[in-house]
Structure 1
Amino acid sequence: MNRRNTETVHAVADNLFLELGITDLQGLLKEGENIACGIECYQLSHGEIFSLDVNREEIDRYNFCKSLEAPYYVIASSPSSRKFQIFTIADEEDKFELIETLNETSFLAWWKQKQSFTQKKGMYEAQARIKDSYIDKLLFSNDLAWGVNIDGFKLDNAGNLLYIIEKRITGRDVTQYDPNRFFRGTQNKSGDYPSWKILKDLADRLEIPLLLATFDKTSQIVGLTRIMEVSARDGLSYSNEIYLFSNTQQIQTEISRLITI
């Protein structure tokens, strides 16, 4: 059972998010301003049965969607049977329960009810990581788009959202890296304004900060700042320059400072 995941495997970023209790959400489906649902997808091997524990991360995803007044679904896709099982977390929050099983035609209709627009932005780096994904092949072959990816979000012990954090990994030296320089894109790659705008609007809707964490391919250094504004004309506005850290406690202290600005 493989989880659909477009994230780059990065030991420093992955371990940091784990230590800080930051959870990701692979998909948030929306139609206009309406948030339809949050989703995760697991692809089953031939004859495999869906089996997933309701752990802390799943409860976090459930509560994140609940904050948006949207349901949270886990989709089990089976290429061998060409079926999709839709699960939700039971009211007791201790197990997943199956709510419906759909064939390809019914599943596409289910998806279109929640998000009907087509894929506009190229997947670029993520393309290789979803090349064997049954659900992606079916959606893209029917001109449908995947949902908004949330790199990370943090809740407190009471289940209240504290912040959303966007993770950017560069092949350059992180000490010289600023995502703002690539905001408008290049001749071969579209710009980042739409994806940043969605995240900032989401954070504003939830009345929580949007943070930025930058990493490179080789060092232990992490860059941190807070996104204050996202402008099609002016790009990203930060609370301060991207400060650099290599110690988890320092990073936690900086995040605590950034979210109170």
Structure 2
Amino acid sequence: MIKLMSVNFDDCIPNWRTQLETIEYNVLVVVREGKVRYELNGEEMIAEKDDVLFIPQSTRRSGTNWNGIPHQKHTILFTMDRHEPTGIPFLDEGKCLKFNLSHIQYAYHRCERLYEEMRGDKSYRTMICLGIMQELIGMLARELEKTELAPSKRKYADTIKSYLLEHYRDPIEIESLAKLIHRSPNYVTALFKEVHGHSPIRYMHQLRVLEACSLLLHSDMTIAHIAQYLGYYDTSYFYRIFKKYTGLSPSDYVLQGERPDISKLFT
């Protein structure tokens, strides 16, 4: 049985380090920004943005900022009954692992929700936290079962993703993405979906809506201004897209007393 110990968010801590010790718990590390250096059983492992690490119980571990530069990461500490197999291969094998998730943004938001719930006092907190933790573990296990992608496919998908991250507010057409990697539009759509689980256009809308959520809560911009800023020149279309991904209209999103759970953006 999995038992959560603590959930932390290390937000650019200067001189961050953990002493060399044999840990008596398991650790999931999800890196959001920068790089972190670990020594795991005498071997160096560098984890950077979008990397996920699993560090099993009984690992001799130390950690520090990479080259002294602060980083951002989520860490989840948990224990298991070592005498009962979980049925999750990477947990039962007990080996140090580093890998990427197709739905890394969704994983970020589940970590954020877990962090908030662990520090709250609402009813059923323990059950909700365990459910989120089990979901994260299931996502990791499923990812590890996938057939290894050819390096060229990963490179093409990363090129497209980087372009979308930089230009998501601009008009995006599949044809223009295809020219980036000198492939056909159909290939681009199929490749991106294979690597990231959804189409490039859906990813663009996710990025825009995520930005809209932040602007609605933390700026004095009007909804119409936000729509135009994000590349939606028809405000009614922005309303439809926003509600499609969040389940709420922009106005209802602002009116909610607590910050709504926007993890559904990445499902």
TM-score (norm 2): 0.26
Give the helix-richer structure, 1 or 2. Answer: 2
TM-score (norm 1): 0.26
Task: Give 1 or 2 for the bigger CA radius of gyration.
Answer: 2
Give the strand-richer structure, 1 or 2. Answer: 1
